[in-house]
Amino acid sequence: MSGGTALVIDGLEVEFGRFRAVDNLSLAIDYGEVRALIGPNGAGKSTVLNVVAGVTPAKAGRIVLDDTDLIGLSEAQIARKGVRRKFQKPSVFEVLTVRENIELGLGVPVAKAPSGRIDEVLAMVNLTELADRPAGTLAHGQKQWLEIGMVLASDPKILMLDEPVAGLTDEERQRTAALIRALRRPDRAIVVVEHDMGFVEEIADKVTVLHEGRTLFEGPMSRVREDARVIEVYLGR
Amino acid sequence: MIRPLILGWLFAVAVATGASAQSPGRAELIAGLCGNAAATGDAGNRILASAGQPDAAELPWMETVTSALLDRQLKCAADPGQTVVDGGGAVRNAVTLEPASAPDQPKVPVLNLKNRAVFELAQSALRLRVGATPSVRRQALTALGRKAASVPVEVFEQAAAGESDAGLKAEIESTAQISALNSPDIAKRIAAVERLASTPNRRVQTQIAALLADPAYKSDQKFRLAVDAALIKVGQGILLGDVLSTLYNGLSFASILFMAAIGLSVIFGLMGVINLAQGELIMIGAYVTWLTQEALKSIAPGLADYYLFIAVVPAFLVTAGIGVLLEATILRHLYKRPLMSLLATWAISLFLINLVRVSFGTQNLQFLTPFYISGGVPVVGDFIVTWNRLFAIAFAAITLALTWFVVNRTGLGLNIRAVTQNRDMAGCIGIPTRKIDMMAFGLGSGLAGLAGLSLSPIYNVNPQMGGNFIIDSFMVVVLGGVGTIGGTLVAALGVGQVNVLIEPLWGAVAAKVIVLFLIIAFLQWRPEGLFTAKGRRR
């Protein structure tokens, strides 16, 4: 599986009323890579994640994971196929404890999960000491990590992170970047939606720039900064 | 030849003298019974007095003649020795109770009202001592209990000493205390006052308070002190009993409110669906309980008394099944339209009411009252722990524990809490939200079924019963904060207690109204209820 194509988005169209949020978008994401989706507000970045996760219905197009078409499946079914997504705003379950949040993320009863998996994930996102605190009492950055831990717990094939460093301090940002790099594996594709170009540069193998629902540019980060169109619509501002 | 004759004569004389040793006493009494009103009354009092003598040998005879006199079966002759008891299919000599012939022109004495009361009392006293069966003795005790003060305390003391039935013995002893209050012996009276005060209740209070008017209260200081101390002690006991009794009634009302509301809390909290059919699910739970009872009656009559325990499983499963069915067929399609789901559940409730009405009729169902929920135990003052209320309280406590366990300690519960908090995120991490909705609806409905079961021994069970509970349950759910078990519990306890506190002051209807106003005022101040689950709510 390693190195092959994980997720193919083909001719995707999404409309909200008369507003076309995603317009004939095609995208292929490989196993083992960290892909960043960037673009100005309203470019359709989060919408793409929502459609892949099954939250938002697509008007047309295909989304294929390995050999399965995800269009038409429910959120939970898609999640169980190994696609996990972290929301932009931390969406942890605030009254549940940190441990329970991770437990939910497993997607299977605790007894069936690999033993010690919860502790392993807690250690990975650096929340071991806070395991029995209600998630609502965590600081913003800790919530972000907890949510990454939740989507990580089930060992997903596709990991989609929507603005994982929004509102974090520099130090927290560094730790998040290190965490994401550590999550990179040959049998996993990581998709990150992010505004913070410095952060994207640190983690991404490849960048896709979206603009008005279309792909504006796709390639390594080093070349993004040189692309005239990208500079015009995004970096230049 | 002569010697045996002489011996025989001597023997006969001896026997005759032996017999006459009691006969004059008997004959004298019979003469009194046949005499004028004063003589009759005097004889009655003597019989009553001798009913307390330790030796019971003479008592059956006294009982026979006293009853004969009361039943107008005593036929007097001029000579008391010729007087007969003419009843029970035989004519017997009143003194010896041996068969005899009726005298010529007998006089049948008629008792005046005053004397009749004396003889009735004497009859009961004698029957208490020598009645053949416990039920006769118990009847006698009941009759005596009304006038315990005029019965010599010895009657009760002797009767208690000779009583073989333990329950009856205890009752005799308690009646004896009342009698001892009026004993001529002041030490006995004080002892009786103190003993009475050890079981304080309103009846005892009245009895002791009556002694304030007794001449001895003025003349004897020790007696006065004893009576005053006893009154204070009894007063305190009654107050304690009243407080406990109010708390107990509040707790039992709260447990019923809690049972009715907990299922609703799960459903309302999870899906935001206002399920107006919840009351009807309670009703169906009660009907399933009844059906279980009827089935047990015909299949295993020996187990019929335990229907309340056996029905737990069917009551839960049937209502949970109905809940799942409703969710899957109707409510699932209306989640985004709260008004429609409100109307739909109302329609379902009307449908269920009429379905039950058509198939079972509108009358109240008859439930057995098993031995384990009848009666109660007096604790202090007028506070009695009644088993049926205790059953409801215990049932609610167990349901609370199990629900808490399911919601907080199982995978299903974790999923339910996650979906309650944030449906989108729950879906994104692979929780099958639709399936959880269905199971949570089933759980909430099943809890309503259990509520129906626990209500069935206390409330009227008929097709309309659900309507009584729906308002109360919503009150509790909204007050407690949607979707929290703790909130539902605290709100149920609060509403239950406040209701019970107000009821004796202004009546049940006013209590309802006041509680409703209090809740409205409270929600103005805290619209989210007492406890709230933090998180994004739609």
Asked if residue B532 has pLDDT above 70, the reply is: no
ipTM topping 0.95: no
| Nearest-angstrom CA–CA distance, B29 and B63 | 12
When divided into structural domains, chain B yields a total of 2
Please tell me the predicted confidence (pLDDT) of residue B360: 93
Domain layout of chain A by residue ranges: 5-91+155-235
Measure A84 CA to nearest chain B CA, in Å.
Answer: 6
Mark yes or no for CB contact A104/B533 under 8 Å. Answer: no
Query: Considering only CA atoms, which of B452, B492, B469 is closest in space to residue B253?
Result: B492
Give a yes or no: residue B210 inside a domain. no
pLDDT 10s digits, B137-185 = 888 888 887 777 777 878 888 888 888 887 888 888 777 777 777 777 7
Percentage of the residues of chain B whose pLDDT score is greater than 90? 20
Asked if residue B375 has pLDDT above 90, the reply is: no
pLDDT band for position B538 (cuts 50, 70, 90): very low
How many A×B Cβ pairs under 8 Å? 76
Give a yes or no: residue B309 inside a domain. yes
Task: Judge if B350 and B495 occupy the same domain.
Answer: yes
| Nearest-angstrom CA–CA distance, B282 and B470 | 9
Asked if residue B21 has pLDDT above 50, the reply is: no
Query: In sequence order, which ranges of B456-507 are alpha helices (DSSP H)?
Result: 466-480, 485-506
Mark yes or no for CB contact B417/A93 under 8 Å. Answer: yes
* Cα end-to-end distance, chain B, whole Å: 125
Please tell me the predicted confidence (pLDDT) of residue B393: 92
**Two tokens, residue B426:** 């729950």
- Whether residue A189 contacts residue A156, with contact meaning beta carbons closer than 8 Å, is answered with no
Mark yes or no for CB contact B535/A75 under 8 Å. Answer: no
Task: Judge if B315 and B439 occupy the same domain.
Answer: yes
Give a yes or no: residue B221 inside a domain. no
Contacts of A109 in chain B (CB under 8 A): 411
How many CA within 13 A on the CB side of residue B510?
7
| Nearest-angstrom CA–CA distance, A96 and A130 | 12
* Cα end-to-end distance, chain A, whole Å: 40
From B180, B210, B228, the end of a domain falls on B180
pLDDT band for position B537 (cuts 50, 70, 90): very low
Measure B429 CA to nearest chain A CA, in Å.
Answer: 6
Question: B311: which DSSP letter?
Answer: T
Touching check for A95 and chain B: CB below 8 Å?
A: yes
Please tell me the predicted confidence (pLDDT) of residue B110: 83
Task: Judge if B260 and B113 occupy the same domain.
Answer: no
Task: Judge if B150 and B246 occupy the same domain.
Answer: no
**Domain harbouring B519, CATH code:** 1.10.3470
Residue B66's contacts (CB-CB under 8 Å, 6 or more residues apart) are: B47, B119, B122, B123, B126
* Average pLDDT over every residue of A40-66: 87
Give a yes or no: residue B146 inside a domain. yes
Mark yes or no for CB contact B427/A74 under 8 Å. Answer: yes
Please tell me the predicted confidence (pLDDT) of residue B285: 95
Chain centroid to Cα B183, Å, comes to 32
Give a yes or no: residue B171 inside a domain. yes
pLDDT 10s digits, B471-490 = 888 888 888 887 678 888 99
**Two tokens, residue B439:** 């199971």
pLDDT band for position B24 (cuts 50, 70, 90): low
Task: Judge if B165 and B289 occupy the same domain.
Answer: no
Task: Judge if B154 and B247 occupy the same domain.
Answer: no
B99 SS3 class: strand
Selecting from B417, B429, B535 the residue whose C-beta is nearest the C-beta of A107 gives B429
How many CA within 13 A on the CB side of residue B361?
4
Q: Which secondary-structure segment (H or E) carries B151?
A: none
Please tell me the predicted confidence (pLDDT) of residue B357: 94
C-alpha distances (whole Å) from A92 to each of A108, A195, B232 are 18, 22, 62
Pairing of strands A34-38, B90-93: unpaired
Task: Judge if B156 and B278 occupy the same domain.
Answer: no
The domain of B364 spans: 240-525
Please tell me the predicted confidence (pLDDT) of residue B322: 95
- A5-91+155-235 fold: Rossmann fold (3.40.50)
| Nearest-angstrom CA–CA distance, A167 and A89 | 10
Contacts of B487 in chain A (CB under 8 A): none
pLDDT band for position B493 (cuts 50, 70, 90): very high
Rg (CA), chain B: 35
- Whether residue A15 contacts residue A59, with contact meaning beta carbons closer than 8 Å, is answered with yes
Asked if residue B400 has pLDDT above 70, the reply is: yes
* Average pLDDT over every residue of B120-136: 86
Binding-face residues of B in 428-457 toward A, CB within 8 A? 428-434
Mark yes or no for CB contact B427/A76 under 8 Å. Answer: yes
Touching check for B532 and chain A: CB below 8 Å?
A: no
Pairing of strands A206-211, A214-219: antiparallel
Asked if residue A1 has pLDDT above 50, the reply is: no
Per the listing, tokens 């199990």 go with B402
| Nearest-angstrom CA–CA distance, B233 and B237 | 6
